Amino acid sequence: AASDSHADLLFVTSTAAQVAYPGGGGYNAAKAAESMLVSALRLELNGEPLRVVEIAPGMVYTEEFTLNRVGGDRERAAAVYEGVQHPLTAEDVADVIGYALEAPGHVNLDLVTMRPVAQSAQHLLARGPLRPRLP
């Protein structure tokens, strides 16, 4: 009988791997390279009991990352999230990682792109309260 055991290779990339943005060239390139590595590994390891998972978060509120990205300017870092209702948190990303690793062994989440509801795309961010549009 075949064994149900498997191992997991899980990578956290970014939506920056999927869509470029001004000022993000180095980060875009690094995350795109990581994403391609994940895709190549998945192909090269085909037939082995390995799940190769990529989690690609969009806007995640982490003070350290944004502060570093804007050169330590706390005011600029705060402005990134200003008015954004419920950006993702590190805990949100950890929950998705946990689910990916706890899913049944035959289920592989190749790519999970996750964003806050306020971020429809890399370049489209709603600021202010989220609300239904009235007809």
The pTM of the full predicted model, rounded to 2 decimals, is 0.87
What pLDDT score was predicted for residue 78? 80
The pLDDT tens digits for 36-47 are: 999 999 999 999
Note if 81 is an active site residue: no
Q: How far is CA 89 from CA 96, 106, 110, 115, in A?
A: 11, 28, 22, 10
Catalytic residue among 21, 27, 61, 81: 27
Stronger pLDDT, 12 or 135, i.e. the higher one: 12
Cα dihedral sign, 38-52-111-40 = positive
Set out the domains of the chain in order of their start, with CATH numbers: 7-125 (3.40.50.720)
The pLDDT tens digits for 69-123 are: 777 778 877 877 888 899 999 999 999 999 999 999 999 999 999 999 999 988 8
What pLDDT score was predicted for residue 128? 92
